[in-house]
Amino acid sequence: MKIIVAKNSGFCFGVKRAVKIALDAAKNGQVYTLGALIHNPPMVQKMGKKGIVVIDDFKKIDNEIVIIPSHGISPEVLKKIKPRVKKIIDATCPFVKKARDEAIKLSRMYEQLIIVGDKKHPEIRGILPFLQGNVIVVKDKSELQNKSIGSCGIIAQTTMSENIFQQVVLKASKRSNEIKVINTICDATRKRQTSTLKLLKDVDIMIIIGGHNSANTRQLLELCIKNKKRAYQVEDEDELKKEWFKNFQKVGITAGASTPPWMIKKIREKIQSF
């Protein structure tokens, strides 16, 4: 069986940076992350053994060192935790901050701001409280259906599908006389999507590695399905099933931006052993 790993897969700049910040901070003792530092449970578990502990409820913080995760937090939460912590270390990805700054700017300049993304994702929940005026979060073009659109700015969650974003822009542009588009999908997300698209044409089956809570991993899976490629998402090697590979000769592997390199290696070895 031939196994090919997508050129751009696994850890991105922002995740690598957040992991390094947390590991450096944990050298001097236990530290806490407010929610998972990154959306990859096996990696979060591994970091837990090195003294990086996830705390889900800010009310449980009691004079500890707290790290803000790569996807950021809202200003309200930040305000609430400040009096409870010993120190705050900010591991928010600079690209998430850039998307937030663009959203703030556009929400002041136009009648409406359209954000293409998931309103429940921590990144979007972290941006919304900074915005004023009429803000709509849509997960795809169908959600614009019954909305009236005036002059508007459009941005995206950093991990959004490029294709879905372009579809929303096209639909909005047909219904508004004035739109300003700032594509805030980060380069790491875009490169992982492009590499996956390229690879899936050359293989029989795709394995997508990443947390089940990872938005950009889900986008990679959806990309494969949309292109009619047999594809499965796994978080770790135990989720692989031997029967998936029966009768297939070429396997493609891709991985979301928060998947560590050691997990890609483990999955590759396990598939090879089938």
Where on the chain is the footprint of ligand SF4 (CB under 6 A)?
Answer: 12-15, 70, 93, 95-96, 158-159, 186, 188-189, 216, 257
Residue 235 among the catalytic residues: no
Query: Shortest distance, CB of residue 249 to ligand SF4, whole angstroms?
Result: 32
Q: How far apart are CA 48 and CA 126, in angstroms?
A: 24
Query: Shortest distance, CB of residue 86 to ligand SF4, whole angstroms?
Result: 26
Residue of 64, 102, 111, 123 marked catalytic: 123
Query: Shortest distance, CB of residue 131 to ligand SF4, whole angstroms?
Result: 19
Q: In the complex with ligand SF4, which residue's Cβ is closer, 126 or 252? A: 126
Residues 33 and 60 sit within 8 Å (Cβ to Cβ)? no
Residue of minimal CB distance from ligand SF4?
14
Query: Shortest distance, CB of residue 198 to ligand SF4, whole angstroms?
Result: 19
Q: In the complex with ligand SF4, which residue's Cβ is closer, 5 or 186? A: 186
Q: What per-residue string of b and e applies to 11-30 under the rule 16 or more CB within 10 Å gives b?
A: bbebbbbbbebbeebbeeee
Q: In the complex with ligand SF4, which residue's Cβ is closer, 97 or 266? A: 97
Q: In the complex with ligand SF4, which residue's Cβ is closer, 13 or 58? A: 13
Q: Which two tokens stand for residue 221?
A: 């899976």
Q: In the complex with ligand SF4, which residue's Cβ is closer, 39 or 171? A: 39
Query: Shortest distance, CB of residue 216 to ligand SF4, whole angstroms?
Result: 6
Active site residues: 123
